[in-house]
Amino acid sequence: MRDEDILAFVPKNEENGSKGSKKEKERHLSLKDESAQEYQQEESDFEDYEPEMEIDAPVIENGFENAFGIITTGIDPLEITEAGARITGYISTSRRSDIRLGTYVIVPYGDEDLFARIWKLQYLQEYAVDDATEIHSRRMLRFNHTDEVDYKFLAYLDPICILYEQNTSNGSFLARRMGDRIPRPNTPILPVTEKLKIQTGLNIPEEGIFLGHLSVGGELVKTHAVPPTVPYYLRNDYSMGDPLIFRHMLVCGSTGTGKTFLTKNILRQFMSEDNRYNLRGSPEK
């Protein structure tokens, strides 16, 4: 049967309606194509957000490229009192594996430096998620993947002293005083790379009874000096009163940590020919 014969049985109003609906569909499809083209044009005007994309931006050399993170007030307020201090730092994801409990850091003021020690490390959630569930536990055990950007890694600083340049008639030298200044928010937290700053900050003399090299968590503290390690001495002269040999000393540690070896090393240095002590009622011997 031909199309003309079929259309002969269709009423005129239905035929017109069919033609009209066909035109409406064509018009609707045309408008849909136009909107899709406009949407694609709008999308092309904006760059896609890619978190892992490296941005080729100029790097400003300000000496803070190796910073552990920044001082923050988002968790706790910054506070220094006569009884203590509350200084919190946010550690960036790229430096979190380098932070240890007891790490020494520098927080610059500009003209002075805060010499501090990390006494507490803490993880906090970036987003409110209940991860103490069986489903989450099984998922993490299966995939064994944790994204560091989903968590805040915080380091709490214990201020030891403030380092500053002391000017005298004979020149200037690095000196220390108690922590009496509060660092500004967003100030970088820097590793200590100068041996003199560590020795001054911890009040370690440059000579005396040698005990070993400074370490944190069993790892040697290394600086940019040559040699990079920091020797640890005990003062054994009359500048601070009686020498060390006339004072009480406690050597403690668990079994096998080297207490006997250290004590013999100290006694051997006490008996060195270079050491001379004044005995009461006797000339220098």
Give the C-alpha distances (Å, rounded to integers) separating 226 from 13, 84, 194, 211. Answer: 99, 36, 10, 19
Which pLDDT tens digit goes with each residue over 97-152? 999 999 999 999 989 999 999 999 999 988 888 888 998 888 888 887 778 888 99
Span 193-239, pLDDT tens digits: 999 999 999 999 988 899 999 999 889 999 999 899 999 998 887 77
For the whole prediction, is pTM greater than 0.85?
no
Q: How far apart are CA 24 and CA 279, in angstroms?
A: 115
Beta-strand (E) ranges in 73-180? 79-80, 85-91, 104-108, 113-125, 151-168, 171-177
pLDDT of residue 62: 65
Predicted local distance difference test score (pLDDT) of residue 130: 86
Decide if pLDDT at 164 tops 80: yes
